[in-house]
Amino acid sequence: MIKDRYYMILMPIACFILPTLAPMYLWNETFVDAFCINIFRYILTLHATWLVNSAAHLYGHKPYDRYINPSENLTVSLLALGEGWHNYHHTFPWDYKTSELGKYSVNLSAAFIDFFAKIGWAYDLKTVSQDMVKKRVLRTGDGTHEIWGWDDKDQPKEDYKDALITHRKS
């Protein structure tokens, strides 16, 4: 409720004012330099966000389900802090990590959520077992899976019980 009530005040402060003032006071940047870099950051962030639902639906591999449009795209994932693993996300939409990868370098969103799970602010996080991933890759993948759903029409009912829940609330 606080966010909704004060959004029009908090958003400009957090998005434009503080990121412009911080370099001015901490690193002696000029207002013009700090403001221009901040606007560039804002535009880049918006484009990276929009790239998820365009490029990640058009370009890349489909290791989990070759029958759907979304794909795995490393470039989008790096730019959007881990949100480019779209084939996994659409195949297993209940997995909080949105990817099978455990490497935080290509999935900063999962690192952020895991941090808050460690301090108790995030809990009951659902994830997919390796066995379930392997079954799905063998059944519907395009053959590009190197490593080795929930509400999914072709997800067998016996796979529902294999979903793992991590960081349970005490």
pLDDT at 7: 93
pLDDT at 149: 39
pLDDT at 121: 93
pLDDT at 151: 44
φ and ψ of 169, to 5 deg:
-75, 130
Domain extent listing, the chain: 1-52, 60-170
With a cut of 50, list the residues of the chain below it in pLDDT. Answer: 148-151
- Non-local CB neighbours of 78 within 8 Å, separated by 6+ positions: 84, 106
CA terminus-to-terminus distance, the chain? 26
pTM over 0.85: no
Measure the CA–CA gap between 107 and 82, rounded to whole angstroms: 4
pLDDT per residue as tens digits for the range 14-58:
999 999 999 999 999 999 999 999 999 999 989 988 888 888 888
